[in-house]
Structure 1
Amino acid sequence: MQPEYDAWPSLPVDSWIETRDTVQLWTQIVGKTRMALGPAVNHWWGVPLYVDARGLTTSLMPVGDRGLEIRFDFLAHDLIFEVTDGRTRRMKLEPRTVADFYSEYTAHLDALSIDVDIVGTPVELPDATPFAEDTVHGSYDAETVSAFWRSLVSAHSVFSAFRADFRGKSSPVHFFWGAFDLAVTRFSGRPAPTHPGGIPNCPDWVMHEAYSDEVSSAGYWPGGAEEGVFYAYAYPHPDGYDTHPAVEAPTHWDSALGEYVLPYHLVRQSDDPAATVRRFLEQTHRAAVETAGW
């Protein structure tokens, strides 16, 4: 008999922060591979990972006349390489340093005759220790990683439905490995002022491209509160956005983050978690639309 499926599991950040930080660095290694192999897409839409039925995937990437997909399987706890010529390789997801992961990862690419040059240092993090030298991060709690993936599946479902209700330009539901968050973004159709940048270990021109247009964006991040948060922001920030009456408790404005936040633990404890997230998305988007004059 299959164990009961918990779609909104408890995820105390303190209980898995070392695992979270290790897995984030692993996803950056894989994500940088997608960035190097795939074509550039506006707002960096060519670089994220995507939630799938077992974890996270790059989706299909071009490699000459072949294709490559790399998947994090958070049920079997493997990283799987699949090439359209029929070859497959896999490596275990288990307690191991980032340096060890990176060494085996690049060896698998070499064995598959995949020549890819990635920037071997993390982005958007204060510590930019090269992957090949990082022997500090090496935790992997398989049970909690699977639980986090289930929370991503649930958030992905709500975000996808929210995206579908907007007739304008809207992003796919992306998992951005830079910040380790799931996000969906709506666009007003107007250009935005140049973003000031200032993100740790990330060139300002990266943010210039990401925020070239006016947006209302929301996401889910496993940080910022005891079990992570759902967040929302508008760029550029319109006057009155952070105090708009449409946004109701328990959502609140976090001045340190510069975003509306809804703690994940309040979502999972609510009578209808999906509906609670949906209200959050609709209220914060309405605040952006009405204060920015979309």
Structure 2
Amino acid sequence: MKIINRSVWKDTYDTLHHLAQMMGKVKLAATPVQPEWANVPLEVYPSGFRTGLLYKNGINFEILLDFYKSEVSIFDNRGNSKFFVLKDRTSVSGIYGEFLELLNFLGLDITINTIPQEMNMKTRFEDNINEIIYDHESAKNAFEMILYAYHELNIFISPFRSKKVMPRFYWGTFDLGTTIFSGIPAPYDSSDIIARIGFDEQMIEFGYAFDDTIDGFPYLYILIYPVKTSEYENAKPEGSGYFSKEKSEFFLPLKPVFEMGNPSEEIQKFLESSFRIICHNEKWPNLDWHTKEIK
């Protein structure tokens, strides 16, 4: 596993982001809506991402992306299965065509919005014919970073007694996140349905991302909702993490962390100390109960 700049594997990243969106949009269409879009994220399993159990047209099915085999597959409860292999020198439209074949194979009549969400790219899947590079080793390395981050976030979040969403992969922003809630309503006044459903209660999201915010390298982030940025201008978590006034989030760049002797210890210090700072500033109720030791 290597910490590499996203620019080195940008085409592969874009390929995977589009594919994750296809899987996620099917999951969105085949599950009842839950608060904070808890029904939508993809699940992480040892070889990749999975939608989890879906149901449509009387069919129970699941879609999987295997990073090690470079395969996308679909299964149903009748014993039917089909897959295709991700190849180099392909296109988003080509992948989408093969993805539709999987759905059609099971007789699934599912309509999705083919415009990418939460991406700078707005070309519909079927119209994006530009040739892209898919590098198997880069994809595998990226997934191993996701696995590492998953376990660190899982270690941190598991003991909390409050309502929470365990680590899941958010296909819109292509990041891994886990969220805890204080129980205090905080409706988001917006006509944007994504934001309105996603933000309706006081919460803290802890996550891992690949984007270009920190010199193009992966990082951990902590998002606070609602947040009063001015109260965090002098906030300093333990270790090498920091609060960004520009982004209104806490960040921990992972490249320097992995050059230290014990990256896990540094990550847990960042998560725990930032959580304490946030709870103090946001006046979370019943903090002792949220963090009461499990016995």
Give the letter aligned to residue 203 of structure 2: V
Point out 4+ residue stretches in structure 1 off by more than 4 angstroms: none
Which of residues 10, 13, 19 in structure 2 aligns to 1:20? 13
C-alpha deviation, 1:167, in angstroms: 0.5
List per-residue Cα deviations over 1:140-178 (Å, max 9, x = no partner). Answer: 111011011111111111111212111111112110010
The residue type equivalent to 1:126 in the other structure is N
Give 1:243's aligned residue: 234
The correspondence of residues 139-158 of structure 1 with structure 2, limited to 5 A, is 139-158=133-152
SS at match of 2:247: coil
Matched with 2:188 is 194
1:271 matched to 2:264? The reply is no
Describe the shift of the 1:255–1:139 C-alpha distance in structure 2 as closer, same or farther (beyond 3 A): farther
Following the alignment from structure 1 to structure 2, what is the Cα–Cα distance between the partners of residues 74 and 265? 22
Partner of 1:104: 98
Q: Does 1:258 align with 2:248?
A: yes
CA drift at 1:242: 4.2
Task: Give CA-to-partner distance per residue, 1:54-111, whole Å, 9 cap, x none.
Answer: 0111111112433111111000110011111111100111222110011111122112
TM-score (ref. length: structure 2) = 0.90
* Aligned-partner SS, 1:208: helix
Report the CA distance between 1:10 and its aligned residue.
Answer: 2.2
TM-score by length of 1: 0.90
* Partner of residue 290, structure 2: none
Instruction: Name the CA distance, whole Å, in 2 between partners of 1:273 and 1:82.
Output: 38
Of 62, 65, 68, the residue aligned with 2:55 is: 62
CA RMSD of aligned residues (A): 1.6
SS in 2 for 1:91: strand
1:91 aligns to what?
A: 84
Q: Residue 154 of structure 1 contacts residue 274 of structure 1 at CA under 8 Å; is this kept in 2? A: no
Superimposed CA distance per residue, residues 29-71 of structure 1 (whole angstroms, 9 cap, x where no aligned partner): 1110011011211111111111111011111111243311111
Shift in Å, 1:136: 2.8
- 1:214 corresponding residue in structure 2: 202
Structure 2 residues not aligned, in runs of 5+ = 285-295
Residues 60 and 137 (structure 1), Cα distance of their counterparts in 2 relative to 1, 3 Å cut: farther
**Which residue does 1:73 correspond to in 2?**
66
Aligned residue-pair number: 280
**Is the CA contact (8 Å cut-off) linking 1:43 and 1:211 kept in structure 2?**
yes
Q: Which runs of 5+ in 1 are unaligned?
A: 1-5, 197-202
Amino acid at match of 2:202: E
